[in-house]
Chains A and B, each alone.
Chain A
């Protein structure tokens, strides 16, 4: 059967994509950010997921204000990068996994989560920037290492779904994945955040204490996070920081107890606090039949966890 083996939280700052596309990764400002993802890319190469479910939000690219779906699942065979006003990002077209996507749609709708189904959808930096951060730079004519199922969440128009609702959707997605007969290793991304406000006179707000507390609890005590009301996100983490609720979909799809494999945090990237975390299910690796590989991966993960157990947070 298919199994979710790990969750990844990552910011999706558009300027990170622009820095990558314009060859600025070696500049000190950007190197500080990209170097924080080197270990994660190594982890990703070793983990070799078969599919990634990526929870993200669209930024007036695929959806305008004509239709604002709360949860939209991409069931298409492919998702072209959107033209965000400067031409599409020079990244490959994202391949979907329609069979698993429609299985998830069917399962979670019957579990009372009324998804919107997208059989045609373009994807913007909200999805492709975290893919670059975790998979590395991929040439426009190359291939991403695995197919992706996009889950777009409305966090642009208030109110987005509550943190609790997001967490429970994660649970339902996990159930759906585990009822899929194909033997697949699945990872799930929660993207966005961390604290930032990019609108109005209060723009530039960053709250590192909040962010660190969020990451700590995401690992060890997510039940505390699901109770946070929207007003607290907006007040403490910025009007746009509310997109952190998307990380709770990822967390809801994981075991109650997880291993924190890696963490990275830095301020700023453009206007935003960059946060990143990898959380692994303890029973991971069960998706592959061959016993040797997962065992080695598990050992490596544990060693990596011991080495990096909490990358020091700045500020």
Chain B
């Protein structure tokens, strides 16, 4: 059955771990959970495909795990807090996994984070239909942000709240 569509499927580069994925990915996540124990890590490393049989994964899920395709694991119901345990079993830092999922080198990824992270501009929506939140953030604070740059007295900045200008 096709996956039910949700508003959050429009967020680019994001696989929201919802109740449906939680059900679908139960095996992947329980497999990852088993890696908390050293004896299980050893057993998995000794024969990965054999070890995975205990967790009743689908062929696609098994393939994603064996290939360490972290995005595909998320798409098929894995959750990042769980799949990170697989990364740790391979001896990788979390940043290594993050770089892998974003298709960049660890060095570039680390540099992006130090530079303030990935901007939300241009990363809100696949369809392009969804503008910034009307509650808080860029749109709500736009006029304030504009004023701030123009003003030279930093002390008055904190007093202007976007909340008051509605």
Which residues of A are at the interface with B, using a C-beta cutoff of 8 A?
15, 59-60, 64-66, 68, 83-86, 156-159, 195-210, 212-214, 216-217, 220-221, 224-225, 227-228, 230-232, 234-236, 239-240, 267-268, 270-271, 273, 309-310, 312, 315
B82 within 8 A of A: yes
Would you list 21 pairs from A and B whose C-beta atoms are within 8 A, ordered by A residue?
A60-B82, A64-B29, A64-B82, A65-B79, A68-B22, A83-B36, A156-B17, A201-B13, A201-B101, A202-B11, A202-B118, A203-B118, A207-B119, A210-B133, A213-B136, A234-B16, A235-B125, A235-B130, A239-B15, A271-B94, A271-B113
9-residue interface stretch from B45-53, B61-69, B155-163? B155-163
B43 within 8 A of A: no
Residues of B within 8 A of A200 (CB): 13-15, 71, 74, 101
The reply to whether B17 and A267 form a contact with Cβ atoms under 8 Å apart is no
Q: Which of B73-108 contact A (CB under 8 A)?
A: 74, 79-82, 85, 88, 94-95, 98, 101-103
A234 interface neighbour in B14, B71, B145, Cβ under 8 Å: B14
The reply to whether B80 and A201 form a contact with Cβ atoms under 8 Å apart is no
The reply to whether A65 and B95 form a contact with Cβ atoms under 8 Å apart is no
Residues of B within 8 A of A65 (CB): 22, 25-26, 29-30, 33, 79, 82
B59 within 8 A of A: no
Q: Which of B116-159 contact A (CB under 8 A)?
A: 116-120, 123-125, 130, 132-133, 135-138, 140-141, 145, 154, 158
Given A65-B22, A158-B8, A204-B112, also A217-B74 (CB < 8 A): no
**Docked CA distance A246–B141 (Å):** 23
The reply to whether B85 and A60 form a contact with Cβ atoms under 8 Å apart is yes
Give the dominant DSSP class at A's interface. loop
The reply to whether A221 and B116 form a contact with Cβ atoms under 8 Å apart is no
With both chains docked as a complex, state the minimum distance between the C-beta of B152 and any C-beta of chain A, in angstroms: 15
B8 interface neighbour in A196, A206, A234, Cβ under 8 Å: A234
Given A198-B98, A202-B14, also A210-B137 (CB < 8 A): yes
Most buried by B among A158, A199, A201, A315: A199
**Docked CA distance A15–B16 (Å):** 23
Residues of B within 8 A of A309 (CB): 158
The reply to whether A201 and B120 form a contact with Cβ atoms under 8 Å apart is no
Report the nearest B residue to A163, measured CB to CB. B135
Residues of B within 8 A of A159 (CB): 18-19
The reply to whether B17 and A209 form a contact with Cβ atoms under 8 Å apart is no
Most buried by A among B15, B22, B82, B123: B123
B39 within 8 A of A: no
The reply to whether A213 and B141 form a contact with Cβ atoms under 8 Å apart is yes
**Docked CA distance A199–B94 (Å):** 10
A199 interface neighbour in B15, B120, B158, Cβ under 8 Å: B15
With both chains docked as a complex, state the minimum distance between the C-beta of A19 and any C-beta of chain B, in angstroms: 13
Q: Which 9 A-B pairs have the closest CB atoms?
A: A206-B117, A202-B13, A201-B13, A213-B136, A210-B137, A199-B80, A158-B18, A232-B133, A310-B158
The reply to whether B133 and A228 form a contact with Cβ atoms under 8 Å apart is yes
The reply to whether B118 and A221 form a contact with Cβ atoms under 8 Å apart is no
The reply to whether B133 and A236 form a contact with Cβ atoms under 8 Å apart is yes
